[in-house]
């Protein structure tokens, strides 16, 4: 979803929608949604790692490979 001002020229809106089309198409792709979720979890993990807070759930292989494959995460205990 994308919003624009009502006074934005139609040609500019159409150009932007065309630019965003591949992203919107992939948004319904399960692989994309999983990758996006992991990206947000990694950002949260890195932010927490820079604090003195104690937390559960760490990524164990962030420096072992590139972003072409998902990373491994230690899930927090369930009990």
What distance in Å separates the CA atoms of residue 19 and residue 17, rounded to the nearest whole number? 5
- Give the count of alpha carbons within 13 A of 48, CB side only: 13
In this structure, the number of other CB atoms found within 10 A of the CB of residue 11 comes to 8
Q: Which residues contact 12 (CB under 8 A, 6 or more apart)?
A: 4
- For residue 6, what pLDDT is reported? 93
Residue range 19-57, pLDDT digits in tens: 888 877 777 777 778 888 889 999 999 999 999 998 888
Q: 1 is written with which tokens? A: 């979803």
Per-residue pLDDT tens over the stretch 3-27: 899 999 999 999 999 988 887 777 7
- pTM, to two decimals: 0.58
């Amino acid at each position: 979803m994308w919003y624009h001002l009502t006074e934005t020229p139609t040609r500019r809106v159409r150009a932007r929608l065309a630019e965003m089309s591949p992203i919107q198409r992939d948004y319904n792709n399960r692989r994309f949604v999983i990758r996006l979720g992991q990206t947000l979890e990694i950002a949260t993990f890195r932010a927490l790692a820079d604090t003195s807070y104690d937390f559960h759930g760490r990524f164990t292989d962030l420096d072992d490979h590139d972003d072409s494959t998902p990373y491994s995460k230690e899930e927090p205990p369930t009990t």
